[in-house]
Structure 1
């Protein structure tokens, strides 16, 4: 008996996308159910450096004649010509989101695309300088857009285009009456009042004769004033926006922003942030990362007034100290927080802020490169039990075998964990065989203590260097942890090891040079892990890779750069064992080995045989 279509769709909702892709190959009915609208609405068809003008072998023909409908397309570094007009005429009505990134496209073809994509909801044109260079795009004298031609458009991104002018932006926005999001990040937005006086004399109508030479914040501000009731999201990252400009933006009548991104805006000051927190109290997402002039004063007002905030990024706001961080506890709805690279933040600020009491709301935390010790990480682990994403990279003194096991004990909901270059972590920590400080309670389920450090050193003088002593110490540590792991089984005890985090999907342990095959053998058993970074883990060998491939079959992205102990057998094991692998990053020496062993033609045949999906092989020289 066939399973009803609706039941299949319901069941597939519980599967990760890679599992759905595998299930879709079972039969036609499963294929259609796995590609139902509920799954495809966020799926993107990507064309990267593809040759689309070839009428016979163009990859776009696959989507043009597909049984299912794709709604989102991304064209990256491709040439789009009038040879694709049939595709737009046939599929354009179904396209909801279109992204053109670094594409070679002429004005006439672009207008033809927009005329056929009348249901477009999001349009991203990034770094397409030739499209805007002439200044005549959408001019209207020949084949421009009609009024309200983009009436369904809600998101417009023109980021990274240096030839944008006021008149070009006006043509886009005039055709989109219900626009909610505008992105002008990395554009040459001009704020100088002298330019405003030159192109817009006092008393003139800015919309009657927009400038064809420059892109001014003054004109953009007038557009926002006109669209204030619909605009909800603004992105001005990597521009020269300053405190005065942000103040004037915040004070626009009827403007109720939900998202503001001003990432990497060096001219932004406390004056603008204070005005923002006074007038835009409905903000849910705020990104002021790399704004070096922002201080504790801004953060205090943010935490006091923006009580609906769910996302906050203050990355590398180096003037922020514990005084401002201590106020973060007032943001009761905060779900995602990035305070990385803030050199003046310590454990004391976190203890008074987000860790003042148990926080079950915060889900994502990025504290990489903070000046913390292991007690700070232990505190975070105990006070933030609902984290799904945690970045502790470059916290050299904070991430140890002790603190990492506390994370494994408390953070069982983690999907993403990054501890890049935390070189104090060893196999003892990842496997749960190392020492851990408890609260004085001798719990039966506590981790087994390694007696390696308690063994009395032999009375002899070492003539080797410190590096040689460290190598010998690592070897003894690896041997002892291996012995303890061999004596245990998962049925009796697994300790506070990495294996406790059953739902882990992304893991970055690059630069953790004390990690060896022991961890890959006894701590890695993740059915959903799809992204793994092992670069610069120089003690990993073929033996560990064999166990990794067997226990983590869903890996799609694997980084093995600078793993010098890996030979051709290990790479061959990866190629043959990881059937879902899409991207593999290696050093060029590995490719030479493979070509020597298999021959170039046979190596290509292996890739084609064992990869059902597109694989990107990144080679470093």
Structure 2
């Protein structure tokens, strides 16, 4: 009967299966094979292609399957790389929507050839591709720039992170070819800041050919304010005055902002941002070491639509600030790892003890937090409790009962956990797929047996540095659960073993 179903219906059905089951289904018949491949594409799988002549047949095959998302590795300026890029433009280009060249070294000519063959691109990652910007002449020819502008007319996302040679002129030329841009990353680029009231009020001839200046970026934001939705300025050294200038741009309504490791930002600057950009749904302030409880209070009061919040490595945050988190009723992802003054117990109370239902958290990281007692988040799918040396078997059982929907769980370096705790907790996690137990020194092969019986959907397991688990036990576990994709077991029993299917 299944053979008579239309390909579209088979594809829809298989899209609900885990990746391992989709692989098994692809072996049933030719129709199921094509349906499984279509299902894989629908979940936005990225195919990483090594740039070598040996990849040419694979590129042709992927083109026949209509693959729309690829990344290239080992890309350089060699003739072989140029030939591979030509093949990609021909076979994959017409339907390619996402292209990652991150860390590659393409020539300007081969890059332009590739882009001209990809008229449907929505996302382009050039992070670390310094070879394109060393000369400062990329897209300097008006004819070439016009052709690239036509090819990139639908581009929505541009990643320029880590480009040490990016300057105003080259940025303006490239961004000018992407009129529909909504998401931009300049993370860890070297931005220069000249404090003054004239930020952003510059002429095109003032753009620097050798530096990437904040006033040029601000002018870009002003011009694209109506469309720009996401900005990543992590690691740029953004000062408080610059953040305020960005936040008050007329018409700018950011949804996502990442300021990771901008260590000069102040609590007052974050408070002003929350007033200026109340529509933010994602905010990353990790590593902004000057921020204190007042910043978290401002976030909880001003950003009522926030869904993702990262506050990792904020050493000045305390329990007093965390009590305000209960006001973020739409929060889905929270990262407070390595906030050493934050108590997991107080945080759990702040998020779950209000009279209304708790926020719909799906991802939570509390690594390094102390005094974790109870977590009650029935919808939580991803949880990191690594490096909690005080987490006991009783705590593990409480987490299992309070968070029964977990699919990913990290418990590395939780040295008090034992086989007894897992014997009680494992049955609460039938959906578990990724599990990290590295350096849990008291666990033995009994825990592997327990996990194998209770967690049938497990795909990835890390038991590295677990002296009580032998290589033989790892192999038995692998045989018991053939759907497991990868088992990390470095230095188990004195050996270094990684099983990967």
For Structure 1 versus Structure 2, the TM-score category normalised by the shorter chain is over 0.9
- Correspondent of 2:377 among 378, 381, 384: 384
2:158 aligned partner: 156
- Correspondent of 1:345 among 333, 342, 347: 342
Q: Secondary structure at the match of 2:47?
A: strand
- Kept in 2, the 8 Å contact 1:396–1:423? The answer is yes
User: Does the C-alpha gap of structure 1 residues 540 and 143 become closer, same or farther in structure 2, counting only changes over 3 Å?
Assistant: same
Cα deviation for residue 533 of structure 1 reads 0.7
Q: Secondary structure at the match of 2:11?
A: helix
TM-score normalised per structure 1: 0.75
Alignment of 1:425-464 (within 5 A): 425-432=417-424
Q: Secondary structure at the match of 1:144?
A: helix
Cα deviation for residue 103 of structure 1 reads 1.2
Cα deviation for residue 252 of structure 1 reads 0.4
Write out per-residue CA displacement over residues 246-288 of structure 1, whole angstroms, 9 at most, x where no aligned residue. 1100000000000000111111112321111001000000000
Alignment of 1:513-532 (within 5 A): 513-525=441-453, 526-532=455-461
Q: Secondary structure at the match of 1:507?
A: strand
List alignment gaps of at least 5 residues for structure 1. Answer: 433-496, 576-580, 583-621
Write out per-residue CA displacement over residues 464-486 of structure 1, whole angstroms, 9 at most, x where no aligned residue. xxxxxxxxxxxxxxxxxxxxxxx
Cα deviation for residue 61 of structure 1 reads 2.4
User: Does the C-alpha gap of structure 1 residues 273 and 89 become closer, same or farther in structure 2, counting only changes over 3 Å?
Assistant: same
Cα deviation for residue 177 of structure 1 reads 1.2
1:502 aligns with 2:495: no
What CA distance in whole angstroms lies between the structure 2 residues aligned with 1:263 and 1:165? Answer: 22
1:105 aligned partner: 106
User: Does the C-alpha gap of structure 1 residues 203 and 533 become closer, same or farther in structure 2, counting only changes over 3 Å?
Assistant: closer
1:61 aligns with 2:63: no
Cα deviation for residue 143 of structure 1 reads 3.2
1:18 aligned partner: 20
User: Does the C-alpha gap of structure 1 residues 133 and 426 become closer, same or farther in structure 2, counting only changes over 3 Å?
Assistant: same
List alignment gaps of at least 5 residues for structure 2. Answer: none
What CA distance in whole angstroms lies between the structure 2 residues aligned with 1:46 and 1:561? Answer: 25
Q: Secondary structure at the match of 1:312?
A: strand
Q: Secondary structure at the match of 2:137?
A: coil
- Correspondent of 2:273 among 268, 273, 276: 276
1:394 aligned partner: 387
What CA distance in whole angstroms lies between the structure 2 residues aligned with 1:137 and 1:236? Answer: 23
What CA distance in whole angstroms lies between the structure 1 residues aligned with 2:402 and 2:322? Answer: 23
User: Does the C-alpha gap of structure 1 residues 89 and 566 become closer, same or farther in structure 2, counting only changes over 3 Å?
Assistant: closer
Q: Secondary structure at the match of 1:59?
A: helix
1:234 aligns with 2:231: yes
Cα deviation for residue 51 of structure 1 reads 4.6
What CA distance in whole angstroms lies between the structure 1 residues aligned with 2:348 and 2:61? Answer: 58
Cα deviation for residue 425 of structure 1 reads 0.5
More off after superposition, 92-101 vs 80-89: 80-89
- Kept in 1, the 8 Å contact 2:107–2:132? The answer is yes
What CA distance in whole angstroms lies between the structure 2 residues aligned with 1:511 and 1:105? Answer: 41
What CA distance in whole angstroms lies between the structure 2 residues aligned with 1:276 and 1:404? Answer: 38
TM-score normalised per structure 2: 0.92
Write out per-residue CA displacement over residues 402-423 of structure 1, whole angstroms, 9 at most, x where no aligned residue. 1111222332211011111010
Cα deviation for residue 562 of structure 1 reads 1.7
2:217 aligned partner: 220
Rg larger for: 1
What CA distance in whole angstroms lies between the structure 1 residues aligned with 2:274 and 2:252? Answer: 13
- Kept in 1, the 8 Å contact 2:47–2:71? The answer is yes
What CA distance in whole angstroms lies between the structure 1 residues aligned with 2:362 and 2:82? Answer: 47
What CA distance in whole angstroms lies between the structure 2 residues aligned with 1:346 and 1:257? Answer: 31
User: Does the C-alpha gap of structure 1 residues 31 and 251 become closer, same or farther in structure 2, counting only changes over 3 Å?
Assistant: same
What CA distance in whole angstroms lies between the structure 2 residues aligned with 1:104 and 1:225? Answer: 32
- Kept in 1, the 8 Å contact 2:331–2:359? The answer is no
Q: Secondary structure at the match of 1:98?
A: strand
Cα deviation for residue 556 of structure 1 reads 1.5
Cα deviation for residue 341 of structure 1 reads 0.8
- Correspondent of 1:325 among 322, 325, 342: 322
Cα deviation for residue 26 of structure 1 reads 2.5
Cα deviation for residue 173 of structure 1 reads 1.4
User: Does the C-alpha gap of structure 1 residues 545 and 89 become closer, same or farther in structure 2, counting only changes over 3 Å?
Assistant: closer
- Correspondent of 1:421 among 404, 410, 413: 413
- Kept in 2, the 8 Å contact 1:8–1:33? The answer is yes
Q: Secondary structure at the match of 1:520?
A: helix
What CA distance in whole angstroms lies between the structure 2 residues aligned with 1:266 and 1:521? Answer: 46
2:189 aligned partner: 187
Misfit runs of 4+, over 6 Å: none
Q: Secondary structure at the match of 2:492?
A: coil
What CA distance in whole angstroms lies between the structure 2 residues aligned with 1:51 and 1:183? Answer: 25
- Kept in 2, the 8 Å contact 1:359–1:385? The answer is no
Write out per-residue CA displacement over residues 384-410 of structure 1, whole angstroms, 9 at most, x where no aligned residue. 22211111111111x111111122233
What CA distance in whole angstroms lies between the structure 1 residues aligned with 2:8 and 2:352? Answer: 44
1:115 aligned partner: 116
Write out per-residue CA displacement over residues 467-520 of structure 1, whole angstroms, 9 at most, x where no aligned residue. xxxxxxxxxxxxxxxxxxxxxxxxxxxxxx313311101101111110001111
What CA distance in whole angstroms lies between the structure 1 residues aligned with 2:90 and 2:51? Answer: 20
